[in-house]
Chains A and B, each alone.
Chain A
Amino acid sequence: MDEQLKSELRRQGVVATSLQELYNWGRKSSIWPLNFGLACCAIEMIATTMARYDLARFGAEVFRPSPRQADLMIVAGTVTKKMAPQVVRLYNQMAEPKYVISMGACAISGGPFKQGYNVLKGIDRYIPVDVFIPGCPPRPEALLDAFLMLQRKIDEQQLTGPERPRHLQAEQPSEFIVPQYSEHDLIPTRNDTIWHAPLVNISNAGANESGRD
């Protein structure tokens, strides 16, 4: 429907909409996050929900303590290898449609602890992530921005056609492999169906840097 006609109608007190708009509006305006934090970033997440930043303005004030009632997992903090299976299991237990915000350097890549013996190098190795927020920790404004970005993303989704979201495609998985503990590392170390190592050229790394021989 023509946008101009729509706003004209609205002025006359008639609201015209489509099922898709209504559906997306409903989804994006009631994203309930899972009540779940892992490390220092969680403190910023908590601050975001409090009166000063007030995440409630965007319809996400209800932090659910059960994955069954949550739509959004904010992975806020360092994911240790010991915790990673539990994080994936919580994600698997959430009902579709579900979204993930990976908050902070740790959840993105391992952050300051990337080479640590017990730190997962990014939660996107096991579960699909919708929005990444860099920062250590990201400010509450950054989390709000990520939240608005997620809302925009939901708003743009088509309900039909090949581009429709995952939860409307019956053949797409909604559960992902839960890694197992083993003698030296988690098995598997990553889910190859959703994570691929980005191509990086390391042949020049370490050279041309002043102060180095």
Chain B
Amino acid sequence: MAIEFGYTISKPRAIDIDRNNLRKSDEILREMPELQTCIGCGSCTAVCTAGNLTSFNFRRVHTLVRRGEYRGAYEEMNKCMLCGKCRLVCPRGINTRGVVLLLKRKLGDF
């Protein structure tokens, strides 16, 4: 049983897992507006080197993040090897490797 001291030393997860908190999501889209043009086709996931070896699903992660679901996104993104296959197949020409790095940068403290 944890004792409640009225403060916490854990990372600010407690505040931001709120489904409706789109602050990070907005920040991400501001820096990488092209992510909004994603049509959710899943090509990035289909060719993904990491996704081929694990349950990591790039499309799922970046879609959830855009909707304000950040929990576990950083850990999932860290499975990416940054190989760049996704960028070559994305029909919308999204800079997916840039997205990977951006998500990790923005969500690293979750």
A and B found bound together: no
B: residues with CB less than 8 A from A are: none
Chain A residues packing against B (C-beta within 8 Å): none
